[in-house]
Structure 1
């Protein structure tokens, strides 16, 4: 960061005069945040207009709006990042205001100006405030001038590092390792890498620049000292156009993966009244320094000594705003709309108090067991228990298709309780009974974190997931008795359906001319039901006897009584334990929920069509995505672990590496190409040793 004098703070805006009512609101976003904004707008008697890319045409938020305008295309660059199309849609439908939500163009000053130029009210801060905070380096200069504690930094690019030792470059700027490489523009954890020493710096800068360019359209990155084992604390601020700024307390956002928050809570378990007052004062000073209007968030890093340092200002509504709403009783979107109309801060905002504790978990479409790979596909069932104190903000429903073009979050589940412990218990219970069938999710990981005794005790920081290796809990092994119950329930449901549809009355289902032999079903068991991790094949042998069965699962006999078989489940007793297991079949896949666990199994057909097997050494795409880099050439020699191709899915880069030493014998992809999950990207053929025996002869 430049050592020159920082720019003068931007003064507070002048009062806007009379209120300008909003009659019709265009929501320039998608998914759960669009649905959430539409819900409040309707409660305020404001008509709404949705916009949608082609993949979102049937999304729930589109149906919830009064009107919708299609944005032809699928990628964000073609649709939700097209300011011209959004303004045109607003004017075409007679909208007088635009709410940007979060992400996409929410923090784009040019978009805010384009709205103003078209006579549209932008529900957000003035363009000058967005612009000031759009650059993290510029933001730090402004905050330092306002007296907000900041960490030193240095803008850096590959040219600066070319031919120079990274340690020397960092030392000249007064920085010490480990360093955090961060995108100057954007957020959400994208364009961030850690360099623990000089040897890692060049590669970290290159990777962060690529990701920043892809996500935000600008590859500029900077270096910042990495605080050891920090906590991520942020403060909700709110300001009106008449110069009043308040804070609405802090949120704890330290449970993160790849710098993306997955669990947030308010208030923080480690912030006492004194620290809360200092954090709030710093946040208010930050907002006042840039003439802020509307809802915003000032983010800080808190070290183990209790010192906090400015990270950034998010000039928009945050994903995790519901936890603040739950502890204050406020509707922050309503307050945003009122302030955008020119009204002063509502009295309930100015006098807000903390009541109880709230925790939010982000339910994401990703396969934890496969290393957090993004998951895509059709959601066949989506059910979250409507328990007391539980709130669900969702962008999906049964039948929704989750694609690779957008963020992986599909819902936010929030719990509120009188105490932190009560809120954590409520959320863990609700999530453990949540059913998302059709795609892999991080549900089981969220439950594992919420029930972890260290997290319950408040003993965590931003490195919690990495240090405690909770990834292994993302797909918990289902106990033998529970798994047997699930497999028996699946078999009973399928067998009962076949019995009801018998071709010849009097003949049992699957009749054969050796009546003494039991019926047989074979399943491939997938751990956890919402994550990957194949456990293997299990054979179920069974024979009906009245209202019960003689059953063996994996060679172990079980005593089974069947009480009821319905279209969605089976009530049965297995070895003296009675339970109801929900059974949901989609093709050969069966989803089973009961006895406190979830399982997904595939029933293997008795007769399998022969198919072509992939060539040995084939490197398949682990998920649908776009090729952003091909790191090797055809016929090149590679070692195990070398990066062959880099895919981008759901705004994140995912390297695909060589499984073993060899030669790239096939390379069928190019940069910019879209690939599907399972598509063969390359083939790594092993190198035959000199003198190897081939067909009975010695190879030359």
Structure 2
């Protein structure tokens, strides 16, 4: 029996595995990098072992250090979680060679499925439907569009869609370079790209006694950069015949490699309903909670049971019930090319309601760093029907209070309420088509009302209490006084607002049209807006005001009463949009080079994603401060482009 378990991972998944361990009476061991020394998964573990360094390659990807940590802490088993070493056959073998229990599939099964090209050959032999690969060297226009994929990894790394034959060589080079950087293997293959396909997967659970469960379907079609954002179970709108076919194919895939434990077989379902095998993930999936909710199971507990040599509890899984939807909450800005965000997470509160579940690796007061994936949490809703689950999840996200870096919370709410999503018209191009509509600029009137609430609460924070306990906003006079002024900049769009207010014998009056102050204290303002009373919650931290209101959440930076003309950025400056590492420059890029507006010049890698820095205008590169391998902070000057006279005239 397992008595002490080391989780070879971090963040949310480590915390989630620890939760099951506590319920089963198993001691827990965490590993952590220097960047994670104060992380939640470290705080929740019974024992923790430091992995010196911050970069994944020096810490969580060092299987030798993880095995040594397990032995030093007295653990008798290792759970890999997902990501990092979870699908590394060599690591699985090293764990077992050290005399430890490996909570995962056999190393041989991992090895067989590790290469997508080899996996497809196996699945073809097992009768699993799949897309035939395309030889890039022999590809013609008739083969387009093509999808390039890294053979050794997933998560969207090394994936490219090619729609023009002339772009194929360059995209192959770029995909191979990204795959080599991410997985240590630059092999890339091509297959037909299915337009408007659905990403549907089947959760499997297999024991060592010839038992294999197919635990329903999940739809994971809503993706950004080939990474999942919203998932649900069961996948809506599939016929019983197609579900049965997917279940049979998933079981066949598991049996073909002698699988043990939790795994996921992923399919692409074309618009005509034909399914094609994509890959098998030989680990627990990020989206496993929706399956747990629908089947009433703890998949981690089943993993531990199977690792201890026990069979599955029954020949067939329990009957599913209801519908579950999961949203991944990321520290990123969808409106700005999904840029990851970093910094202090000042507040993080998600409502606790029946049917809701929160899986997270963060609490308020933690810091979001630059080294790892920007996912903050997963919020899961389970209800008797899909409509009820979607409504519950959207409202929970809307009511959450998240203060600090920009997140994708508003995108998630808008996605869950989009007509296509509500009607289950799902495919992997959802965000390509709808991103602009899902990330609208905030309504000007609503932002001004929120800024007014911030000003009123700021005034209340500076007020004094009289002998009767009533708030005094300065000395009231029987003569008209000049209104007080507060200035705010809305983040991240940068719009500025001037809010005026005046103390009166009855409290505060504000200069915002249609708004009357009903009451205010140091954390809340109640405003009457055109006859409707609304409550605004305001948190003031480090020069910023975070306003949660019925119309949304807003962040403001308090500005001085008068602007400072100094410190303007030189025109044409290319600044780092986030902390990260310069991974490459455009071919031949050097000072004096001629560039075109929109041309990618510099590639930054941050939080497991690659971002391009584009030329702001056509002209000449007059300064270059970036070089491959350079680590930069947000706002660092990377280069300067001097706009040509012709380009300047076009913009005049």
What is the match of residue 14 of structure 1? none
Aligned counterparts, 1:126-165, within 5 A: 126-154=106-134
2:306 to 333, 339, 345: 339
1:281 to 241, 245, 248: 248
- When the two structures are aligned, how many residues end up with a matched partner? 642
CA distance in 1, matches of 2:184, 2:582: 17
What is the match of residue 380 of structure 2? 414
Over 6 Å off, 4+ runs:
none
CA distance in 2, matches of 1:230, 1:289: 26
CA distance in 2, matches of 1:475, 1:68: 44
What is the match of residue 268 of structure 1? 235
1:543 matched to 2:502: yes
What is the match of residue 561 of structure 1? 517
What is the match of residue 627 of structure 1? 582
SS in structure 2 of the partner of residue 305 of structure 1? coil
SS in structure 1 of the partner of residue 311 of structure 2? coil
CA distance in 1, matches of 2:327, 2:252: 30
What is the match of residue 616 of structure 1? 571
Shift of 1:641: 1.3
Taking structure 1 as reference, are residues 304 and 473 closer, same or farther at Cα in structure 2, changes over 3 Å only? closer
CA distance in 2, matches of 1:497, 1:260: 43
Taking structure 1 as reference, are residues 655 and 479 closer, same or farther at Cα in structure 2, changes over 3 Å only? closer
Aligned counterparts, 1:491-502, within 5 A: 491-500=455-464
Shift of 1:204: 1.4
Aligned counterparts, 1:385-424, within 5 A: 385-424=351-390
1:577 matched to 2:532: yes
1:596 matched to 2:538: no
CA distance in 1, matches of 2:465, 2:33: 43
Taking structure 1 as reference, are residues 249 and 382 closer, same or farther at Cα in structure 2, changes over 3 Å only? same
Aligned counterparts, 1:449-598, within 5 A: 449-467=415-433, 469-478=434-443, 480=445, 482-500=446-464, 509=474, 516-526=481-491, 532-534=492-494, 536-553=495-512, 557-565=513-521, 567-598=522-553
Equivalent residues of 2:206, 2:312 under 8 A apart: yes
Taking structure 1 as reference, are residues 475 and 63 closer, same or farther at Cα in structure 2, changes over 3 Å only? farther
Taking structure 1 as reference, are residues 329 and 485 closer, same or farther at Cα in structure 2, changes over 3 Å only? same
Taking structure 1 as reference, are residues 281 and 508 closer, same or farther at Cα in structure 2, changes over 3 Å only? closer
SS in structure 2 of the partner of residue 215 of structure 1? helix
What is the match of residue 97 of structure 2? 117
1:106 matched to 2:86: yes
SS in structure 2 of the partner of residue 153 of structure 1? coil
What is the match of residue 254 of structure 1? 221
What is the match of residue 163 of structure 2? 196
Equivalent residues of 1:175, 1:224 under 8 A apart: no
CA distance in 2, matches of 1:508, 1:333: 56
Equivalent residues of 1:327, 1:357 under 8 A apart: yes
Taking structure 1 as reference, are residues 663 and 339 closer, same or farther at Cα in structure 2, changes over 3 Å only? same
CA distance in 2, matches of 1:548, 1:558: 17
Scaled by the length of structure 2, the TM-score of the pair is 0.95
Shift of 1:476: 4.8
Scaled by the length of structure 1, the TM-score of the pair is 0.88
What is the match of residue 179 of structure 1? 146
What is the match of residue 681 of structure 1? 638
Taking structure 1 as reference, are residues 112 and 659 closer, same or farther at Cα in structure 2, changes over 3 Å only? same
Shift of 1:572: 3.5
What is the match of residue 391 of structure 2? 425
Taking structure 1 as reference, are residues 559 and 198 closer, same or farther at Cα in structure 2, changes over 3 Å only? closer
Equivalent residues of 1:229, 1:304 under 8 A apart: yes
Shift of 1:350: 3.0
SS in structure 1 of the partner of residue 156 of structure 2? coil
1:324 matched to 2:324: no
RMSD after superposition: 2.2
Taking structure 1 as reference, are residues 245 and 602 closer, same or farther at Cα in structure 2, changes over 3 Å only? same
SS in structure 2 of the partner of residue 653 of structure 1? strand
CA distance in 2, matches of 1:383, 1:334: 27
1:304 matched to 2:271: yes
**Superimposed CA distance per residue, residues 351-405 of structure 1 (whole angstroms, 9 cap, x where no aligned partner):** 3211000000000111112121111111011011112211110111111111221
SS in structure 2 of the partner of residue 130 of structure 1? helix
SS in structure 2 of the partner of residue 36 of structure 1? helix
Taking structure 1 as reference, are residues 155 and 624 closer, same or farther at Cα in structure 2, changes over 3 Å only? farther
Shift of 1:533: 2.8
What is the match of residue 363 of structure 1? 329
SS in structure 1 of the partner of residue 574 of structure 2? strand
SS in structure 1 of the partner of residue 395 of structure 2? helix
SS in structure 2 of the partner of residue 619 of structure 1? strand
SS in structure 2 of the partner of residue 426 of structure 1? helix
CA distance in 1, matches of 2:480, 2:64: 72
Consecutive unaligned residues of structure 2, counting only runs of 5 or more, are none
**Superimposed CA distance per residue, residues 437-456 of structure 1 (whole angstroms, 9 cap, x where no aligned partner):** 11111111111110011111
Shift of 1:175: 7.7
Taking structure 1 as reference, are residues 367 and 431 closer, same or farther at Cα in structure 2, changes over 3 Å only? same
**Superimposed CA distance per residue, residues 161-204 of structure 1 (whole angstroms, 9 cap, x where no aligned partner):** xxxxx5xx225xx9811110000011111110011121111121
CA distance in 1, matches of 2:161, 2:435: 21
What is the match of residue 42 of structure 2? 62
CA distance in 2, matches of 1:508, 1:258: 51
**Superimposed CA distance per residue, residues 249-302 of structure 1 (whole angstroms, 9 cap, x where no aligned partner):** 110011111111100000011222221111101100000000000000000011
SS in structure 2 of the partner of residue 424 of structure 1? helix
Shift of 1:131: 0.3
Equivalent residues of 1:51, 1:70 under 8 A apart: yes
Equivalent residues of 2:476, 2:505 under 8 A apart: no
1:445 to 411, 421, 437: 411
Consecutive unaligned residues of structure 1, counting only runs of 5 or more, are 1-20, 157-165, 527-531, 693-700
Equivalent residues of 2:474, 2:503 under 8 A apart: no
Taking structure 1 as reference, are residues 510 and 88 closer, same or farther at Cα in structure 2, changes over 3 Å only? farther
Aligned counterparts, 1:689-700, within 5 A: none
CA distance in 1, matches of 2:85, 2:362: 22
CA distance in 1, matches of 2:132, 2:318: 35
CA distance in 2, matches of 1:266, 1:94: 38
CA distance in 1, matches of 2:332, 2:82: 21
Equivalent residues of 2:134, 2:192 under 8 A apart: no
CA distance in 1, matches of 2:351, 2:571: 46
What is the match of residue 212 of structure 1? 179
